[in-house]
Amino acid sequence: MGTELFQKCLHILPVKPYLCRPNFGTMLAVVKIAGQQFKVQEGQSLYVPHLSGKTGDKVEFSEVLLVDNSGTISVGSAVKAIVKAEIISDLVQGDKVIAFKMKRRKGFRKKHGHRTHYTRIKIESIA
């Protein structure tokens, strides 16, 4: 009876069910990398703004804003963690972005474009 009621009311619930499941046993952190905040876990690979370094280099991020260690959360100045990562690919180009300007009936057309550079890293440990 309880599961049937839950299934009927699933579309009414304001909270998504996958947000309610605790993910115990994993350690996650919020790290500030090149002015942007990223939520990372061990073994995760992600694209960050371009970092100096070659493929295979080890990188440490000491600006950790939040650490969740199996349900124990530490925030702010209480965080004494360092995130260690390895550079998988030192230069990855993003999608092309085109800025096109035009004034009608004047013959004025300008086309500028760029591709943002990223670095792909793999999180090795959160300590």
Nearest alpha carbon to residue 111 among 126, 125, 98: 98
pLDDT of 14: 54
What's this model's pTM, rounded to 2 decimal places? 0.73
| Distance of alpha carbon 79 from alpha carbon 73, whole angstroms | 9
Comparing 100 with 24, the larger pLDDT belongs to: 100
Angle of CA points 57, 58, 61, to nearest 5°: 135
- Say if CB 74 and CB 67 are below 8 A apart: yes
Strand partners, 113: 98
68, amino acid identity: D
pLDDT 10s digits, 75-88:
988 888 999 999 99
